[in-house]
Chains A and B, each alone.
Chain A
Amino acid sequence: MAVLVLAEHDLGKLSASTARIVAAAERLGPVHLLVAGQGVAEVAAEAARIAGVEKVLVADSPALAELTAEAVAKLLAELAEPYGHIVAASASTGRDAIPRLAAKLDVMPVTDVIAIHGPNRFDRPIYAGNAIETIASGEPKHLLTIRASAFRPAQSGNNAPISAVGPDVAAVAKFIAAHRTESELPELSTAQIVVAGGVSFGSAERFALVEDLARTLGAAVGATRAAVDAGYAPNDWQVGQTGKIIAPDLYIGIGISGALQHLAGIQGARKIVAINKDPEAPLMKIADIALVGDLFEVVPQLIAGLKR
């Protein structure tokens, strides 16, 4: 049976995570990639180029402009019948819509999948990643959200057929405003390099040091919850159990203690670098490379050193 995969996209562009969940879903069956939204023809064309996609389905409707859970769940419910698996990224839209859909279909979903062992066997983290559960599902249909950063992206180079599906959906919630964080830096959830800062920066102005270092490295910026709560960084930069879960090749954590809820977000990082004045901080202990020092001295020197 085929797998229905919900494509992630934003501002008229396919998100990098889509190629990753396609690669994961391909192990479960032929992939039908659903692009839902308003004015998404270009996104659909991009989606058709991902290797492994058998066909692209496009649901284009004003009711899907904001991808509210009500509309997305209704759309997926209408399309669900022939599919053995329905898959979305473990991100805002999927997290919101998949459990709602699951209740409507009376299926117990498996969310935040980090490994696929077979059509009905999956790993998912629990307790902020301090334990991994291996689940076997006996459900007739499998509803999954997949942690994109746990899978390598599918290649590009395909020309899958695109067909329209006519959704009979209405947006229930009224969309009032989007508060977007404008940044020219790479997208945090799929970035190859991430520089993250903690509350110890002490002000939003000084947190800009993190951004300076990130710019020098072409990296995305992350933050701890404490830094976000203090107003030094926007909420979508938060990394951790309740923020973004990332798996960059290189993660540089500055003035971050390494609370277990923060570590939950970086367990998949290939290399961890930590800078902290306290050598006993938990992040310093697990870091591959650690430097003890005052961040206000270290970071400007580091930026200068990297530019040399």
Chain B
Amino acid sequence: MKILVAVKRVVDHAVRVRVRPDGSGVETENVRMSMNPFDKNAVEAAVQLGEAGHADEIVVVSIGPRQSNDVILTALAMGAHRGILIEADGRVETLAVAKLLRAVVDEEKPDLVLLGKQAVDDDSNQVGQMLAGLLDWPQATFASEIKVVGGGLEVTREVDYGRATIGVALPAIVTADLRLNTPRNAALPMVMKARSKPLAVRPVAEFGIDVAPRLKVEKVSPPAERPGGRKLGSVDELAAAIKSELSELEAL
């Protein structure tokens, strides 16, 4: 099968972001950026399907500023074959991202599209589901296991009550959860090799899709601070403190 993987360049997950004092957003200048962690799981899943003989071509696509080349190169170093960067500056909303991805699907005709289940910057958790809706394909979101069975997939999903296993026919959309796999760190020769793999850069305007945001971000504010409290000296004090919390709760 042919697999398309969508990846996003985001503020590194280990960075604690700061809200700009004027409320216009979070500070992204001079902040470490990297591939969205869930997208790494998606790339890894695609590469593993390739290694198991189920996939013969893996195409990676990213939508974002020119620097998103970085994350495409990371995916190519992990084992993807070819990259596409749809160059777009500024905020591109999830619905526009899904429409751009549909255009890429129409061109590339993959059997499977893998995405991360959410991006750790806007935490939207929307694009995979939207792409599935636009294409009218089945979706298996929040995947922690993917098996190729017959001509389709058996996907185990992380859900509120535990896990659920579903069967989907191809073509399909699968979004990756963190427990799907452990993404590899590409070895240096693979990183060097990635630079010679094809990477097409295409301006967003080429697609003729309206990407103007429909939601207005009025302001961005920091969350309420938790000032911290008291340190106790013994387990007895802790038991007493918890008991008094419990009686307060009963009184409520």
Q: State the CA gap A271–B244 with chains docked (Å).
A: 12
Pairwise interchain contact A135-B220, C-beta atoms closer than 8 A:
no
Interface hit among A45-53, A55-63, A88-96, A199-207: A88-96
Give the number of residues in A that approach B within 8 Å (Cβ atoms). Answer: 91
Asked if A177 and B164 sit within 8 Å, CB to CB, the answer is: yes
Instruction: Tell me the nearest residue of chain A to B231, going by C-beta.
Output: A290
Residue on A nearest B222 in the bound complex, by CB: A131
On whether the beta carbons of A134 and B217 are closer than 8 Å, the reply is yes
The CA of A250 and the CA of B224, in the complex, are separated in Å by 18
Give chain B interface residues in 212-238, CB to chain A under 8 Å. 213-224, 226-232, 234-238
User: Which residues of the other chain, B, contact A241 by a CB distance below 8 angstroms?
Assistant: 120, 123
> Contact flags (1/0) for A24-39 with B, using CB distance below 8 Å?
0000000000000000
**B205 CB within 8 Å of chain A:** no
Do A111 and B161 form a contact, CB below 8 Å, given A252-B242, A285-B228, A289-B238? no
- CA separation between A104 and B130, bound complex, in Å? 8
Q: Is A69 an interface residue (CB 8 A)?
A: yes
- Taking the complex as formed, is A291 at the interface, i.e. its CB lies under 8 A from any CB of chain B? yes
Cα A66 to Cα B238 with chains together (Å): 44
| Contact, CB under 8 Å: B94 / A99 | yes
How many angstroms from the CA of A66 to the CA of B157 in the assembled complex?
13
Q: Measured between C-beta atoms, what is the minimum distance from B39 to chain A in Å?
A: 13
Residues of B within 8 A of A271 (CB): 245
**Structural contact, B235 and A69, CB atoms closer than 8 A:** no
Interface residues on B, range: 35 or more
Q: A109-B126, A250-B245, A287-B228 given as contacts; is B165 within 8 A of A176 (CB)?
A: yes
A107 to B93, CA, bound (A): 11
Does A267 belong to the interface (CB within 8 Å)? yes
| B235 x A298 contact (CB < 8 A) | yes
Contact of B214 among A66, A68, A137, A261 (CB under 8 A): A137
Q: Tell me the complex Cα distance, A256–B141, Å.
A: 28
Do the beta carbons of B228 and A286 come within 8 Å of each other? Answer: yes
Interface residue? A306 (CB, 8 A) = yes
How far is it, in angstroms, between the C-alpha of A247 and the C-alpha of B110 when the chains are bound? 42
Whether A301 pairs with B139 at a CB distance below 8 angstroms is: no
Binary contact track A59-87/B, C-beta < 8 Å → 1, others 0 = 00000001011100100000000000000
Give the nearest-CB partner of B38 in chain A: A242
- Closest residue to B98 on the A side, CB-wise? A103
| A193 vs B246: C-alpha distance when bound (angstroms) | 9
How far, in angstroms, from A177 to B214 measured CA to CA in the complex? 39
Q: B158 is contacted by which of A91, A173, A235 (Cβ under 8 Å)?
A: A235
Instruction: Name the CB-closest residue of A to B221.
Output: A132
Cross-chain pair count, CB within 8 angstroms: 253
How far apart sit A202 and B168, CA to CA, in the bound complex (Å)?
Answer: 37
Which chain B residues in 136-161 approach chain A with CB under 8 Å? 138-142, 144, 154, 156, 158-161
Residue of A nearest to B141 (CB): A96
Our pick among A112, A128, A286, A302 for the contact of B235 (Cβ within 8 Å) is A302
A-side contacts of B123, CB under 8 Å: 112, 125-128, 241
Interface pick from B9-17, B44-52, B79-87: B9-17
Query: Are B178 and A103 in contact (CB-based, < 8 A)?
Result: no
Asked if A137 and B215 sit within 8 Å, CB to CB, the answer is yes
B125 within 8 A of A: yes
A131 in contact with B231 given A69-B132, A137-B215, A181-B161 (CB within 8 Å) = no
Interface residues of A in 123-154 (CB under 8 A from B): 125-139
Q: Are B215 and A136 in contact (CB under 8 A)?
A: yes
Do B133 and A108 have beta carbons less than 8 Å apart?
A: no
Is A173 a contact partner of B138 (Cβ separation < 8 A)? yes
Asked if B223 and A102 sit within 8 Å, CB to CB, the answer is no
| B236 cross-chain contacts in A, Cβ below 8 A | 305
Are B242 and A306 within 8 A (Cβ)? yes
> Does A21 reach chain B (CB closer than 8 Å)?
no
Docked-complex contact B121 and A92, CB < 8 angstroms: no
Distance in angstroms from B178 CB to nearest chain A CB is 6
The answer to whether A103 touches B131 (Cβ under 8 A) is yes
Nearest 3 A/B pairs, CB to CB: A305-B239, A103-B133, A99-B129
Binding site for B on A (CB under 8 A): 10, 66, 68-70, 73, 91-92, 95-104, 106-112, 121, 125-139, 172-181, 189, 192-193, 217, 225, 228-229, 234-236, 241-242, 244, 249-250, 252, 260-261, 267, 271-273, 275, 279, 285-293, 297-298, 301-302, 305-306, 308
- Give the A-binding residues of B (Cβ under 8 A): 11, 13, 16-17, 19, 26, 93-95, 98, 117-118, 120-134, 138-142, 144, 154, 156, 158-168, 177-179, 213-224, 226-232, 234-239, 241-243, 245-246, 249, 252
